[in-house]
Amino acid sequence: MQPLLKLCGNHSLHDTNVSISSNADYIGFVFAKSKRQVTGELVRDWVKKQKETNDKKFVALFVNEDANSIQTTIKDLPIDIIQCHGNEKPEQIAEIKKITSLPVWKVVHHSDEALQVMQTYEGLVAGYIVDCKVGNQWGGTGTSFDWSYIPHYLAEGKKQGVPVFIAGGIRPENVEKVLEYGPDGIDVSSGIEENGNKSRQLIKQLEERMNQHENNTSR
């Protein structure tokens, strides 16, 4: 079964249209401070007609934001999932779920303690994204972690009964290496960009590599 695909960091009408026209399952928008940061007003303009004509799910990414601020930001937006990308504690996740009435995905940054961190959110989150933190940047750096650890994260996700997405440095030319580990999903941002914009050609290449891998493994 082919993993789910999330295209994150859409920060223009062009990006949004390109990602929505792809085969991705999830379209992500970054509301945290970042070179890809967007506002609720912008996203509202970009997606106002799109939700009626496609079945993709929209993901809103926040870093260490309180529940009320998140609710205010996404008001009137067709957001399906909240992605918490910082150091949010389990009690904060519970509050975000309560205030927004939306499922929450938690990003876990690869480290020696990451599996123990995942265990603290059991029963609270609807999924995980394992990413690589570089310096003071929470993600979107194009840097990978050691993918040989992926099976451990997948096992913990399976134990909790939720999907685990892999992020960080995934590009069309290396996506098959990630797929060999059988992740539930992959999350791509900078790896499908040219000059800071989402590229139809790179997304197409990514999808072709994913399809090719699926065909090879299903024989």
- Which tens digits make up the pLDDT trace of 81-136? 999 999 999 999 999 999 999 999 999 999 999 999 999 999 999 999 999 765 44
Listed in sequence order, the DSSP H helices in 75-199 are 90-100, 114-119, 150-160, 175-179
Range of the domain at 115: 4-217
Domain count, the chain: 1
Whole-number pLDDT of residue 217: 81
CATH number at residue 182: 3.20.20.70
Structure pTM? 0.93
Note the residue count of the chain. 219
pLDDT tens column, 40-66 = 999 999 998 776 667 899 999 999 999
Percent of residues, the chain, with pLDDT higher than 70: 92
3-state helix, strand, coil in the chain (%, to 5): 40, 20, 40
Q: Is 79 buried (19+), middle (13-18) or exposed (0-12) by CB count in 10 A?
A: buried
- For the stretch 125-139, pLDDT in tens is 999 999 976 544 444
